[in-house]
């Protein structure tokens, strides 16, 4: 069963080939057998999962099943889950048990999905390699000496290793797409505001967006159908109708206009990745698409702008973790100042502390205009570049990452080199656009991902474009030898 996609599992449940309880037990057995090596899960909710599976089987017996009823999934540990530890990969929240469910979690419950547990991640979603987690690094199932990408590395590894058919992720600067590329799965970052952020522990509020991670675009469509939609509890949620994402998956690509940004294929890109992306684009030509070069002239400024905006917002968001109200509290503080300093110094890891300090500096008096305000102006220029490009093309394609998964420790001592692994994904978050990564081949026996970017609320088109490619290729069917 573990080799089947969500869509195939749903059909098996419908045909009574197996029950949700049997399927859930199979997933839990696989987690127990393999996750000791991979470290993809922080918390496994076995008993609750089996109870939910039995409830889903009863619901199906009553004829009340939906597309995801009884399907096991796993949640990134950035989402609050009632009665379950919600740690965000940090010592600061190691003892935090949420009293409520995030909207995303709530909607999966309502859809009858079964939660297997909570997935490992870079601390507070800050990282590109899943090496910053308080619970230790996640290992890439294709080569356990390499990173799975971050911050949703636990989600990507769990899906790639067939521990879970699907998982949720979050994407602030590429944290769904880059790990999806490194682990050879499909990951979608929706338009900002399409999926509620309520109950999702905040990193950078104007950039964070939740999305689905699964083996195929078809599975991502089923998951996004549940996740998307207006939420009055989230002030950044957009009140816009949600289309039927599965209905248009098979639409023809005849006449599709693909743009290839020249800035995506310059210095720093692994030549083999460039070759594989161009080969995938050639496949789209055979499916009826036309291809032209486009330009995103301010692309080179996306990294500097992001690493002012994101740390500034994280500095504000993480101020609430002070050792007073909830979360980690240092032992025997001498006074209030000692309580603050030691609780934060001991509760936060090095990367989180680095970004808090950068952000606090950028927001300080005398530097706000020079850094934060200027970064926001650059953000507008980047958005305008995409707007002009989408006047001439329907989607933009390019590499998801300049390299395949790198080895543990290779970039951890050089934060700038680590930050550059997200160079092709960051601009999408700054502009608030939807983007996804799909597997398009292998380099040195490691997966390669191609990024597809769409205009605002064009998730329907992105899923269609990805699905048609996956109908004529089998990269998404490849599995690591475990």
233, two tokens:
């509890």
227, two tokens:
């996740």
Stated length of the chain: 482
How distant, in Å, are the alpha carbons of 81, 212, 292, 408 from that of 140? Answer: 26, 19, 35, 10
Helix, coil or strand: residue 476? helix
* Annotation marks residue 76 as catalytic: yes
**Number of C-alpha atoms within 13 angstroms, CB side, residue 261?**
27
Pairing of strands 114-119, 72-76: parallel
Choose, from 20, 98, 155, 175, the residue flagged as catalytic: 175
Is the Cβ–Cβ distance between 324 and 338 less than 8 Å? no
Choose, from 19, 20, 76, 403, the residue flagged as catalytic: 76
Choose, from 151, 237, 343, 403, the residue flagged as catalytic: 151
* Annotation marks residue 175 as catalytic: yes
210, two tokens:
């939740």
Pairing of strands 166-171, 209-214: antiparallel
Neighbours of 367 (CB within 10 A): 14
Is the Cβ–Cβ distance between 96 and 79 less than 8 Å? no
* Annotation marks residue 443 as catalytic: no
Is the Cβ–Cβ distance between 294 and 257 less than 8 Å? no
Closest of 149, 29, 136, 142 to residue 482, by C-alpha: 142
What are the residues whose beta carbons fall under 8 Å from the beta carbon of 452, sequence distance 6 or more? 395, 396, 397, 435, 436, 437, 438, 462, 465, 466
Q: Is the dihedral of CA 69, 74, 80, 82 positive or negative?
A: positive
Active site residues: 76, 151, 175
């Amino acid at each position: 069963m573990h080799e089947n996609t969500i869509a195939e599992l749903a059909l098996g449940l419908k045909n009574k080939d197996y029950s949700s309880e049997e399927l859930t037990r199979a997933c839990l057995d696989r987690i127990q057998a393999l996750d000791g090596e991979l470290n993809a899960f922080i918390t496994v909710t076995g008993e609750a999962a089996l109870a939910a599976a039995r409830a889903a089987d009863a619901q199906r017996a009553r004829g009340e099943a939906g597309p995801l009823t009884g399907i096991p999934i796993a949640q990134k540990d950035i989402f609050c889950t009632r009665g379950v530890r919600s740690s965000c990969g940090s010592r600061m929240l190691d003892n935090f048990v949420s009293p409520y469910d995030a909207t995303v979690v709530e909607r999966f419950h309502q859809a009858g999905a079964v939660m297997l547990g909570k997935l490992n991640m870079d601390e507070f979603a800050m990282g590109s390699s899943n090496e910053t987690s308080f619970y230790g690094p996640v290992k890439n199932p294709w080569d356990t000496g390499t990173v799975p990408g971050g911050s949703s590395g636990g989600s990507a590894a769990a899906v790639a290793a067939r521990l879970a058919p699907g998982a949720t992720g979050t994407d602030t600067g590429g944290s769904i797409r880059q790990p999806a590329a490194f682990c050879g799965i499909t990951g979608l970052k929706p338009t900002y505001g399409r999926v509620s952020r309520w109950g999702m522990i905040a990193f950078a509020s104007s950039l964070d967006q939740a999305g689905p991670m699964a083996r195929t675009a078809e599975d991502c469509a089923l998951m996004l159908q549940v996740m998307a939609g207006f939420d009055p509890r989230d002030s950044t949620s957009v009140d816009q109708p949600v289309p039927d994402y599965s209905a248009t998956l098979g639409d023809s690509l005849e006449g599709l206009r693909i743009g290839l940004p020249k800035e995506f294929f310059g210095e720093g890109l692994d030549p083999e990745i460039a070759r594989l992306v161009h080969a995938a684009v050639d496949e789209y030509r055979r499916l009826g698409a036309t291809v032209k070069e486009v330009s995103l002239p301010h692309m080179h400024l996306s990294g500097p702008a992001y690493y002012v905006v994101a740390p500034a917002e994280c500095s504000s968001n993480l101020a609430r973790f002070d050792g007073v109200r909830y979360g980690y509290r240092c032992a025997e503080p001498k006074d209030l100042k000692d309580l603050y300093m030691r609780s934060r110094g001991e509760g936060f890891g090095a990367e989180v502390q680095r970004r808090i300090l950068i952000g606090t500096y950028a927001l300080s008096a005398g530097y706000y205009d020079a850094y934060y305000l200027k970064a926001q102006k650059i953000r507008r220029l980047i958005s305008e570049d995409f707007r002009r490009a989408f006047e001439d093309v329907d989607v933009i394609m390019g590499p998801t990452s300049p390299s395949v998964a790198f080895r543990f420790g290779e970039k951890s001592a050089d934060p700038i080199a680590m930050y550059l692994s997200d160079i092709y994904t960051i601009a999408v978050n700054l502009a608030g656009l939807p983007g996804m990564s799909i597997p398009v081949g292998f380099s040195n026996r490691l997966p390669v991902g191609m990024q597809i970017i769409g205009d605002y609320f064009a998730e329907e088109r992105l899923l269609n474009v990805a699905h048609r490619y996956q109908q004529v290729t089998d990269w998404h069917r490849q599995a690591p030898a475990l």
